[in-house]
Amino acid sequence: MGTPAPAPCAARPGVAASGADTCAVIVAGGSGERFGDPRGKQFVDLCGLPLMSWSIMAFDRAPSVARIVVVCAPDHAAQVEKDVLSRLSLAKPVELAPSGETRQASVRSGLDASPRDLPLVAIHDAARPLIEVEQIEAAVAAVRADEALAGAILAIRSVDTLKLVEGATIVATPDRSFYWAAQTPQVFRRRSLLAAHKAAEREGYQGTDDASLVERLGGRVRVVESTRDNIKITLPEDLALAEATLERRLLT
Ligand code: CTP
Ligand code: MG
């Protein structure tokens, strides 16, 4: 809807904050098949900027984040530089890493490019443009606060009644208070996540998120309650919702 983009460099709380201990890994290497736009959903316009710009700006402003790795297809690297990075006056160093065949392989590539001297990594889907600085900080703070944790993920409580179904037959109605829907960012101690990715690769395990890789090794991961705003753009109709939410934020 052509809303002009805000000046991305207007307010930069926490730039060069001491104690920034986190490398953000933003995965943008998917092909967006369900979304179906030939440009790839990470590049479609959202309030005047390519969609992936919004999550990059949020991590750039987050005080806990020292640097950012953007994972994208090697064929898209020039486009990311020209249409995304060069249009945002980012305060933090940004590096590109090549994506892989699966999301898991893309995260691994980003992890390998993340510096060893930053103890935490925040893995985020570029397809979640509505992430806010406060949510990033809450997930990082949760990991920092408890030595026994391998990680913390943003998640929301299930609001629907859930059914376990075989074929078309309901076999159970589990107590929904135990069920949460996982989002990103998912923040981990770098060494824990790297060990989990190496084990998954060795054992041929494919997870649908990063926490599941850590959980299967017995690592403790907690949830940090998030909001329903932090949607993943998957289908074309998700874009209108994201646009409405961003416009509301830009106006208030
Ligand atoms: N992703 C990635 N590398 C892949 C696959 C996915 O970096 N090989 C990224 C996507 O760019 C996205 C995030 O992982 O930011 C979440 O994945 P998803 O929403 O499934 O995006 P796509 O895989 O692009 O979409 P689809 O599954 O519809 O093809
Ligand atoms: Mg996918």
Residues in the chain: 252
Mean pLDDT, residues 90-109 taken together: 98
Q: Tens digits of per-residue pLDDT, 232-243?
A: 999 999 999 999
Q: How far is CA 214 from the centre of its chain?
A: 17
Residue 168 pairs with which residues in a beta bridge? none
Res 4 pLDDT > 70: no
Average the pLDDT over 147-156 and give the result: 98
H/E stretch holding 26 reads: strand 22-27
The protein residue with its alpha carbon nearest to ligand 1, atom 8, reads 102
Tell how far the Cα of 18 is from the centroid of ligand 2, in angstroms: 36
Q: Report the distance separating Cα 123 and Cα 154, nearest Å.
A: 11
Q: Write the pLDDT tens digit of every residue in 17-62.
A: 578 999 999 999 999 999 999 999 999 999 999 999 999 999 999 9
DSSP string, 211-250: HHHHHTTT--EEEEE--TT-----SHHHHHHHHHHHHHHH
Residue 76 Cα, ligand 1 centroid: separation in angstroms?
14
Supply φ then ψ for residue 133, to 5 degrees.
-55, -45
**Residue 34 gets which letter from DSSP?**
T
Q: Find out whether 121 and 187 touch, Cβ atoms under 8 Å.
A: yes
CATH superfamily of 22-251: Spore Coat Polysaccharide Biosynthesis Protein SpsA; Chain A (3.90.550.10)
Kind of pairing between the strands at 65-72 and 94-98: parallel
**Buried residues in 112-127 as b, exposed as e (16+ CB within 10 A):** ebbeeebebbbbbbbb
Residues with CB under 6 A from ligand 1: 27-35, 42, 71, 99-103, 106, 125-127, 232, 234
> Beta-carbon neighbour count of residue 141 at 10 Å?
14
Evaluate whether 144 touches 44 at the Cβ level (below 8 Å).
Answer: no
Q: pLDDT averaged over the chain?
A: 93
Average pLDDT over residues 137-164: 97
pLDDT at 225 over 70: yes
Name which residue sits closest to atom 23 of ligand 1, judged by CA: 30
| pTM given for the model | 0.93
pLDDT confidence of residue 227: 97
Which one of 31, 33, 231, 237 would you pick to mutate in the ligand 1 pocket, going by the greatest count of ligand atoms within 8 A of its CB?
Answer: 31
Residue 45's closest CA among 7, 88, 84, 90?
84
Q: Which two tokens stand for residue 25?
A: 């890994």
Residues 211, 213, 214, 217, CA torsion sign? positive
Ligand having the closest approach to the CA of 34? 1
Dihedral sign of CA atoms 24, 116, 102, 162 in order: negative
pLDDT score at 17: 53
Q: Cα–Cα distance between 113 and 161 in angstroms, integer?
A: 41
Q: What band does 252 get if pLDDT is binned at 50, 70 and 90? A: confident
DSSP class of 148: T
